[in-house]
Amino acid sequence: MASKNITFDPDAGVPKGVNLIIHTGADFTNNFNVVDTSNAAFNFTGYSGSAQMAKSVAVGATLGVTTSFTVGFTSAYDGKFKISLGSTDTRNLKEGRYVYNVLVSSGSTIYSIANGNVLVIAGISSAP
């Protein structure tokens, strides 16, 4: 289970670029630890999250949403959340490059926390 550390400035509103790798047919989970510019944990208490992934077909172009990640706050007060996909979801992904983003919201406040590329790698064999 991978873990990424993010420094997020809510005043700038710019997401952190984080690239991910997903292996088809395997469970995928990535933990995020978010701090603000003063290195204090970003408090996500009262926030909800969403994350989506789309197939990248050319520079600046995508084919629409391919799948949605499950977003869970593992310790909202401490700025910790994770995104995940089960093996059934990853099994249906085609090998290639995708893009994704993670949004968190509370009321009318919406932050784009992280985005980047996802490399989906197909195995050379699979379990029956």
Fold of 2-8+15-121: Immunoglobulin-like (2.60.40)
Share of the chain above pLDDT 70, in %: 90
Share of the chain above pLDDT 90, in %: 77
| Mean pLDDT value across residues 32-55 | 94
Inform me whether the pLDDT recorded for 2 exceeds 60: yes
Is the Cβ–Cβ distance between 85 and 69 less than 8 Å?
yes
| Mean pLDDT value across residues 101-121 | 94
Inform me whether the pLDDT recorded for 106 exceeds 90: yes
How far apart CA 115 and CA 103 sit, in angstroms, is: 9
Tell me, what's the pLDDT at 49?
95
